[in-house]
Amino acid sequence: MTEQSRPQELPVRLLTDPEMIKACQARDIANVFRLVKIRAGIYPSMIGKRCGLTPSRVGEVMSGRRQLQHMDVIERISDGLRIPGHMLGLARRSWETPQALGVTDREQIQEQAPKQQLPSSLPGPEVDSILAMATRASLSAATLEAFRSSIEDYWRRDDQHGGEALRPAIVGQLRYVVGLLEESRPPTIRNGLYSVAAELARLTGWTYFDARQYSQARAYFTQALHLAKEIDDRQFMANVLACMSLQATYQDKPADSLAFVSAAQDQARSAPGTTPRVLAMLSMREAFAHATLGSRDSTHRAIGDATRHFEQIQADDAEPSWVAYFDESKLIVDTGIAHGRLGEAATAEPLIADALRREDRTNQRGRAFHSFWLARTQLDQGKLEQACQTATQALEPASAVASQRVSGHLREFYDELAPHRDEPVALAFEARLRALVPAVSGSTRP
Write out pLDDT tens, residues 233-259.
Answer: 999 999 999 999 999 998 888 899 999
Looking at residue 256, its pLDDT comes to 93
Q: Which band of pLDDT confidence, cut at 50, 70 and 90, is reported for residue 162?
A: confident
Q: What is the pLDDT of residues 371-413, one digit of tens each?
A: 999 999 999 999 999 999 998 888 888 888 888 888 888 888 8
* Per-residue pLDDT band at 136 (split at 50, 70, 90): low
What per-residue confidence (pLDDT) applies to 38? 86
Instruction: Using a cut of 0.75, tell me whether the model's pTM lies above it.
Output: no
Which letter does DSSP use for residue 43 in this model? Answer: -
Residue range 110-128: mean pLDDT, rounded: 50
Place 121 in a pLDDT band, splitting at 50, 70 and 90.
Answer: low
pLDDT interval class at 111 (50, 70, 90):
very low
Q: Pick the closest to residue 424 from 376, 389, 375, 382 (CA basis).
A: 389
DSSP assigned state of 85: G
Predicted local distance difference test score (pLDDT) of residue 54: 86
> d(Cα 103, Cα 206) in Å, to the nearest integer?
26
CA–CA distance, 222 with 236 (Å, rounded to integer)? 12
Residue 291 or 140, more confident:
291
Can you tell me the distance from the alpha carbon of 105 to that of 115, in angstroms, rounded to the nearest whole number?
23
Are the beta carbons of 310 and 327 closer than 8 angstroms? no
Chain segment 171-186, per-residue pLDDT in tens: 988 988 988 888 888 8
The phi, psi pair for 219, rounded to 5°, reads: -65, -45
Position with higher pLDDT, 159 vs 2: 159
Q: Which of the residue ranges 26-35, 37-46, 145-154 would you say has the lowest mean pLDDT?
A: 37-46
Q: What is the pLDDT of residue 252?
A: 86
Tally of CA atoms within 13 A in the half-sphere of 12 that contains its CB: 0
C-alpha torsion sign, points 369, 371, 377, 381: negative
What pLDDT, on a 0 to 100 scale, did the predictor assign at position 104?
37
Q: Is residue 287 within 8 Å of 338, Cβ to Cβ?
A: yes
